[in-house]
Amino acid sequence: MSVAGLTQGTRPGSGAWRRLAEGRTLPVLTVVLIILALWYVAAVGLNAPQVRDRLNRSGQNWSTSDLVAATWSMERPVLPTPDQIAAEFYKSVFATPITSKRSLLYHAYVTASATVVGFLLGSLLGILLAVGVVHQRTLDRSLMPWIIASQTIPILAIAPMIIVVLGNFGFIGLLPKSIISMYLCFFPVAIGMAKGLRSPDPLQMDLMHSYNASRGQVFWKLRWPASVPFLFASLKVAIAISLVGAIVGELPTGATAGLGARLLSGSYFGQTVQIWSALLMAALLGAGLVYLVALIERVVLARMGMRR
């Protein structure tokens, strides 16, 4: 680090280029380019058998470049190329009205709303559990094993049950998906929050004791503010897995809307390009939601005067 800094200090180069080389942009860009190159190579490899079959059956002579071009432009490839995915993504996001069932934004909206509702419910549940566990030894000993055990059950196994049971009571659509999200995301919040509420050091606790502070005062003036950084760290994990929960919740219902439904119908009809563009959308949605939580974290911690 220091050696690199020294050599660069003695060799003044063009500002923009140096910023690019020293910052994170260049390394990230390089990796992206390598991945894209490997992707195109893999697309040729994976799609070639089908293409070769077709070309042979057509009876015409074909060259390697014909083969490569064909593998990169199949309608239902095993592995679509990035440009095919980008084109499909553009078409279903920007060239389709948002009210249409073909609009990826519409599906993203459906999944996002289930994600956010599940995230809010799960976070609330997680915080309440943490508060209980920290203040009551009995709750700590009786609930904690169950909280941990709940996460050892594969969500794919429990999701259909939740949907069937809730459907029986007339709940369909958003709520069952949110419940599955909640089931996944309360866990990191409960664990992180419990750790945060226990984070004040003994001196800070003694101080409250010496003031003869009530339990409520200790909670609101010490435990709660001390736990905020821990809470946000958990919330970032929680919102990401809440999205996973919502998508998983869309799979067994045969839902007609949402990114999960889009993935499922794509795989029914071999629409790999559609699957990949839904996947891209899910990734962007996840990143966007995490970024949003991180943004709120920055604002809140800055207001609390915490260095970040």
Partner 1 sequence: MPKASLKIVSDKTKIADAPAIEIRGLSLVFATADTPVIALSNIDLSIRRGEFVSFIGPSGCGKTTLMRVIADLEQQTEGEITVNGVSPREARQARAYGYVFQAPALYAWRSVLANVTLPLEIMNLPRAERQARAAKYLEMVGLTGFERKFPWQLSGGMQQRVSIARALSFEPQLLLMDEPFGALDEITRDHLNEHLIRLWEQTRKTVVFVTHSIAEAVFLSSRIVVMSPRPGRIIDVIDNSLPGKRTLDIRDTSEFLAVAHRVREALYAGRSYAD
Question: Given the complex with partner 1, which of 50 and 199 has the nearer CB atom?
Answer: 199
User: Is residue 228 involved in binding partner 1 (CB under 8 A)?
Assistant: yes
- Applying CB under 8 A, which part among 27-35, 189-197, 212-220, 291-299 lies near partner 1? 212-220
Question: Given the complex with partner 1, which of 57 and 201 has the nearer CB atom?
Answer: 201
User: Is residue 213 involved in binding partner 1 (CB under 8 A)?
Assistant: yes
Angle in degrees, 0-180, between the axes of helices 259-268 and 104-135, rounded to the nearest 10? 130
Question: Given the complex with partner 1, which of 82 and 229 has the nearer CB atom?
Answer: 229
User: 73: helix, coil or strand?
Assistant: coil
User: 81: helix, coil or strand?
Assistant: coil
Name the H helices within 23-103. 25-58, 64-71, 82-94
User: Is residue 203 involved in binding partner 1 (CB under 8 A)?
Assistant: yes
Which listed residue (34, 37, 42, 304) binds partner 1 by CB under 8 A? 304
What does 147-175 look like in DSSP terms, one character per residue? HHHHTTS-HHHHHHHHHHHHHHTT--THH
User: Is residue 199 involved in binding partner 1 (CB under 8 A)?
Assistant: no
CA 79 to chain centre: 23
Which listed residue (105, 225, 251, 290) binds partner 1 by CB under 8 A? 225
Which listed residue (16, 61, 210, 268) binds partner 1 by CB under 8 A? 210
d(CA 70, CA 54): 10
86: nearest Cα among 240, 279, 270: 279
Total site size for partner 1, rule CB under 8 A: 21
The residues binding partner 1 (CB under 8 A) are: 201, 203-204, 206-213, 217, 221-222, 225-226, 228, 304-307
